[in-house]
Structure 1
Amino acid sequence: MYLPSTRWSWNFMGLAVFQAVVSLALEGYVFGRFQSSLELSRLNAGQETPSQALTIPTYLALFIFGFVYEVILVWDALRLKNTIQVIGICIYNLGLLIYAAVEMDQVGDAVRVLEYKNLIEQGTWMALRPYLVAAPCLIGLITAIMGGIAYKLYDEFAWTIYKHISADLRLKRRYLTYQIYIALLKFDFFFFLGFTVQFLVVVPNTTRYEFWITVAALPITVALLFLAAFFVRQESKPGQILTIFVYFAGMAYFVFKLVRMYDAGLKRVQEYEPARKSLTIFAVLTLIALVLTMVTACVCMRNFGMGLKPHIQRRAVPDASEAKIRNSYGPDQFGQPSAHSLEAVSHRMTID
């Protein structure tokens, strides 16, 4: 199991873990206070639980997954020394900030509806509001600090990536494109899962057919993302073409969902109301991520057969100590002669 080997790597990992623990403690309190305030016993016999009562549990579930997944992504980025993924994590954290801000608005709307229906204790919103305000403030501060550490990590990883790929500028650009593509696949998974969970839990009156199709899409999506990474590493053109077709199908699916959420003629607008803002954010972010992923997939396919495959078969980039040992014993694993040791290079190397 890889562990961070430098100060900035440890700082980045520690920051992600600290944010996850504190943010989930805040969300856990909000969840507990909300659930204890509900008075669903006042519902009439046979009456369904209002979707507003499911808002907080859904947000909590997504935040738990979101922060745990971020810690995994941080570990993975440090293991692979993927500077693109490190930058992507900062953007991902900004997305969590936006989501936390939207949560405050959506929870306020849900509590007011429940108070109107006399299904929750009066004053619940005022009790929850300070904690809902604290969450985006904390995430915003952590995001700013993460940005500074990401810059240091870019400096730190630049030379080891240079040694891994060689001095060929065109090859480095191809490797950069590959890194972007792999990072996008990992973020696509979170956005798709976030949208799907909210849709299944919060949106009422979903037809049986639509519900089971959405459930089946989850494992299929995970399998397709793994296959997409496999195809690009193996430089399989038929597999890459199939993957690009799947991206088009995914884009069509999310456009369809956005239309359903806002088209009054379909008579389902009110059903999406409890989570429409957050569903819209996830749908739009997923669409943007799919477009970027599809474009990057096309560029990666254009780079097939141009010498990158041997370099990406070994997923982890050696750290400075490994590279130093390899230099002292001669050629590296790809047959490239070692021209100088790490200490001989004092200027900053870039990967772009």
Structure 2
Amino acid sequence: MYIPNSKWTWLFVAIAVIQAAVILGLEAYVFADFQIHLETPADSKSTSKTIPTFLSLYIFGFVYELVLVYDALRLKNTIQIIGLCICNVGLLIYGAVQIEQIQDAVASLHHYLDDDLWQKAKPILIAIPCILAFTSILMVFVAWKLYDEFAWTIYKHISADLRMKRRYLTYQIYIALLKFDFFFFLGFTVQFVVIVTGKTDTEFALTLAAIPVTIIILFFAAYFTRRESTPGMLVIILLYFGALAYFLFKLVRMYQPAKEAEYAPARRSLTFFAVITLFLIVGTIINAILCTNNFHKGLKPHIWKIRRSNDEEKSTELGSRVPGEGIPARMMID
């Protein structure tokens, strides 16, 4: 699979790659400077892990965004491209949040760090949200152009049937949400495992086990949707509600007086990830229900035909048949 060859797709790629290269370089410099000058204190073990965790997670965020850029463009998924613009704004906000969070961490470790470390890191950390603000504006403009460009691809395969287009739009939103769910859930879990103190062995083990379980759930969530498996989707939706309860519990718990000290080193960042994840889960649940309601209404052949067409980069007619399906891809009136 490859990226469609047009000036707007390559401009979107260029913006994402240049942005990632610049931000990764700045973050790597701050990360290396901190690691070089820090002598790990025995009595501040959790705090000493705060800065490396924040910076590593931020670096991973931009690498993951590059993967999603490639994925969105090869699939001509306009919804995912819009989601990437929103995600970029989210990374901007997280960049602003990390300034104060890192400043607090440096202040608590002042006995173990050079006095001028924060003064050297501060302008770099301030520059990062400014750069992201500029590139986010550029990405929104190019995304608008790509929306017009990719709209024709959707029209060729879905035709002008408004009901079918709405069903396909719901499907696109759902698949895009699953990809963003993974990053924000992983981001919250990593910070909780590495930074938060006072965890029991059972809680620690369950949190670690949640990572592969989440990956499996998200995989089957997409699989059941493409296969239009109603029983499978009902199980997935129940698991979503379990995840919603988990993040609500964690969000409330980190602000309880008895637990406040345990979450203090990363409470702002954890709150940011928890709130974003809650919104994503609610959106995922709503779209999962809508997708399930759209099962067996003629969308499945078009999903597989569009996926095959993106793989082969060939135009297909609406009357063609989908491999393995006995249903003609021609649009039917409900």
| TM-superposed deviation, 1:5 | 1.1
Change (3 A) 1:300 1:79: same
Change (3 A) 1:321 1:184: closer
Q: Is the 8 A contact 1:24 1:64 kept in 2?
A: yes
Taking structure 2 as the reference length, the TM-score comes to 0.93
Partner residue, 2:59: 64
CA deviations 1:63-103 (Å, max 9, x no partner) are: 22211111111111111111100000000111100011001
Structure 1: stretches of 5+ with no match in the other structure: 338-352
- Separation of aligned partners in 2, 1:257 and 1:183: 25
| TM-superposed deviation, 1:201 | 0.8
- Separation of aligned partners in 2, 1:198 and 1:110: 14
1:113-124 paired onto structure 2 within 5 Å: 113-115=108-110, 118-124=111-117
* Residues 1:184 and 2:185 aligned together: no
Q: Is the 8 A contact 2:170 2:291 kept in 1?
A: yes
- Separation of aligned partners in 1, 2:303 and 2:329: 16
Quick one: which amino acid aligns to residue 30 of structure 1?
A: V
Q: Is the 8 A contact 1:161 1:317 kept in 2?
A: no
Q: Is the 8 A contact 2:50 2:102 kept in 1?
A: yes
Partner residue, 2:189: 196
- Separation of aligned partners in 2, 1:120 and 1:146: 38
Partner residue, 2:217: 224
| TM-superposed deviation, 1:17 | 1.2
Quick one: which amino acid aligns to residue 294 of structure 2?
A: N
- Separation of aligned partners in 1, 2:321 and 2:161: 16
Partner residue, 1:246: 239
Q: Which has the larger radius of gyration?
A: 1
Quick one: which amino acid aligns to residue 28 of structure 2?
A: G
Q: Which runs of 4+ in 1 moved over 6 A?
A: none
Match of 1:322 among 314, 317, 323: 314
* Residues 1:103 and 2:117 aligned together: no
Q: Is the 8 A contact 2:301 2:329 kept in 1?
A: no
- Separation of aligned partners in 2, 1:226 and 1:236: 14
Quick one: which amino acid aligns to residue 282 of structure 2?
A: V
- Number of aligned positions between the proteins: 325
CA deviations 1:269-315 (Å, max 9, x no partner) are: 11111110010010000000000000011011111110001111245
Structure 2: stretches of 5+ with no match in the other structure: 323-327
- Separation of aligned partners in 1, 2:300 and 2:245: 32
| TM-superposed deviation, 1:39 | 3.1
- Separation of aligned partners in 2, 1:169 and 1:78: 24
- Separation of aligned partners in 2, 1:285 and 1:209: 26
- Separation of aligned partners in 2, 1:20 and 1:104: 18
Taking structure 1 as the reference length, the TM-score comes to 0.88
Match of 1:144 among 113, 131, 137: 137
- Separation of aligned partners in 2, 1:29 and 1:37: 12
Percent same amino acid at aligned positions? 55
Stretch of structure 1 that moved more, 48-57 or 163-172: 48-57
Q: Is the 8 A contact 2:88 2:132 kept in 1?
A: yes
* Residues 1:306 and 2:297 aligned together: yes
- Separation of aligned partners in 1, 2:308 and 2:60: 28
Partner residue, 1:29: 29
